[in-house]
Amino acid sequence: MKVACIQMDMAFSEPEKNFEKAVSLIKKAAQSGVDTAVLPETWNTGFYPKENLAALSDDDGKKTKEVFGALAKELGINIITGSVANRRSDGVYNTCYVFDRSGNCVASYDKTHLFSPMNEDKYFKKGDHVSTFVLDGHRCGIIICYDIRFPHMTRQMAIQGLDFLFVVSQWPLVRVPHLDALTKARAIENQMFVVCCNSSGKAGDTVYGGNSSVNDPWGVTIAHAKGQEEEIIFADCDTNILKGIRESINVFSDRRPDLYEDK
């Protein structure tokens, strides 16, 4: 699978402009023959306008589904829509939608771990489920930013047989070394490809870190952004290596969940 991470610099509180830009960048990535394009976290609003968040948010994902379902079908590619600020009847969620090559919405996921140091939990509602799905015959999972610091969540998805974990984020520049370490660790310990699409640019005083990456199941970084500026990175993920890795180091069959899983 050839993936493209779109390390987008979004306009804060300007969803119309950001929708246009996201579509343009995905079309640009598609020209390189990608199978799957990935956007970062909350690209429609930026992370995150407190004063008028609900008004700026997508209405139950309607625009995201309409625009990116049609775009996936038009381009014949899979699209991981990063996440959008998404208004529903009971509040605003941080939501990812996934579309296959036919434009079908094959998965949705609401961020479950909200970043309390920036009061995300005061403005967004928590999700209540994990999300796995199939793209091009490969079992995949999606997590959003802070979720990656909770390895039990990723492992629960991984034991379902994930080949790819997509991580979409608005991770700050100051903690980029953590992002690199965590994505590599999740790839190695779960023997899967980890595709991380981070944002770039600035919102308020926070500078976002870019440095999007793709790590293979050995923990080898097969693609990495040059830095924190807007960029599209590409990676050819050879899924033929998965079988050999899993047979040579049997971490899943050698697990002892009776000793250490949460009771």
Residues designated as active site: 41, 111, 145
In a 10 Å sphere around its CB, with 0-12 CB exposed, 13-18 middle and 19+ buried, how is residue 162 labelled? buried
The sheet with strand 221-224 has its strands ordered as 132-135, 138-144, 164-169, 193-198, 213-215, 221-224
**Rounded Cα gap, residues 154 and 142, in angstroms:** 9
**Pairing verdict, β 164-169 and 78-80:** unpaired
Nearest to 184 by CA among 209, 155, 148: 148
Distance CA 169, CA 110 (A): 13
Environment class of residue 2 by beta-carbon count within 10 Å: exposed (0-12), middle (13-18) or buried (19+)?
A: middle
Q: What residue has token string 């999300």?
A: 131
Q: Alpha-carbon distance 110 to 90, whole Å?
A: 13
Q: Do the beta carbons of residue 59 and residue 97 sit within 8 Å?
A: no
